[in-house]
Amino acid sequence: MELEGPNTRFANVVIEKGHHVEGVVHLLSVNHLHTLDLFEGSGYGRTSKPILLDSGDVVMAQVYCQSEPLPMFPMTSGYPSERYLKVLIFGAKSAGLSAEWIEFLQQQKFLPFRQLELTALQQHLLSRKIDRDSISFKNHVIICGMVLNVPETILPFYRRLFLGDVTFRLLGQVSYDARPDTFEAATIDQRKHIENILNTLLASNFEIIGHVE
């Protein structure tokens, strides 16, 4: 299930003659590295690579790379989502990376946000008001008040992501915009990201059963 649209891809580091990758070196504890391992999940492996610093010194640092395709993380060609590319550009600017690198990122193709379009049946189901206390978060997810049934066939990795009310966690993924206190205060891109995710879930056998207030 590619959450931000078919053929969306995430960043990777591969060796290619005549090219380089810019980034930021952080000093972390072992516990911090273990936390990052959990965050990155099975999609990336951590490996030690020589890094050339701005000072000219070379240090060994841990780099997350994907070296082989996995069922949930294919290595076939594709493009980053609009949100993900904007996150990379925002991070590069915030870290003071070179203008050439930022321009390189800005020139990359991306998959734009998809607008959510509900069928007449889905709109009818959404109109049903549901008591929040009656919802079992073992089987349901809430996004912007919309209650969806989580299919039994979903992989455990995704089941962990989509249980409970995940509205503000999804809004926070648009990290180049400030996290809002309410959904009404969400930016255009944050709202578009929510619609993008809902498109994927509804196409992956998640079912609308109503709404909560």
Largest Cα–Cα distance in the chain? 63
Whether pLDDT at 63 is above 90: yes
Q: What confidence score (pLDDT) does residue 78 get?
A: 84
The per-residue pLDDT for range 147-167, each reduced to its tens digit, is: 999 998 888 878 888 889 999
**Which residues are bridge partners to 211 per DSSP?**
129, 146
Q: What confidence score (pLDDT) does residue 71 get?
A: 64
Distance CA 207, CA 86 (A): 30
How many Cβ atoms sit within 10 Å of the Cβ of residue 82? 20
Nearest to 72 by CA among 171, 161, 133, 148: 161
- Whole-number average pLDDT of the chain: 91
Average pLDDT rounded to a whole number, residues 100-127: 96
Q: What confidence score (pLDDT) does residue 72 get?
A: 65
Whether pLDDT at 133 is above 90: no
Which CA distances in Å does 133 have to 66, 127, 161, 166, 175? 42, 18, 21, 16, 31
Distance CA 83, CA 78 (A): 15
The answer to whether 4 touches 197, Cβ cutoff 8 Å, is: yes
Whether pLDDT at 188 is above 90: yes
- What is the model's pTM? 0.89
Tell me what percent of the chain is helix, strand and coil, each rounded to the nearest 5. 35, 20, 45
Q: Could you tell me which residues come within 8 angstroms of residue 176 by beta carbon, excluding any fewer than 6 positions away?
A: 86, 87, 89, 90, 189
Average pLDDT rounded to a whole number, residues 68-74: 70
Average pLDDT rounded to a whole number, residues 130-142: 89
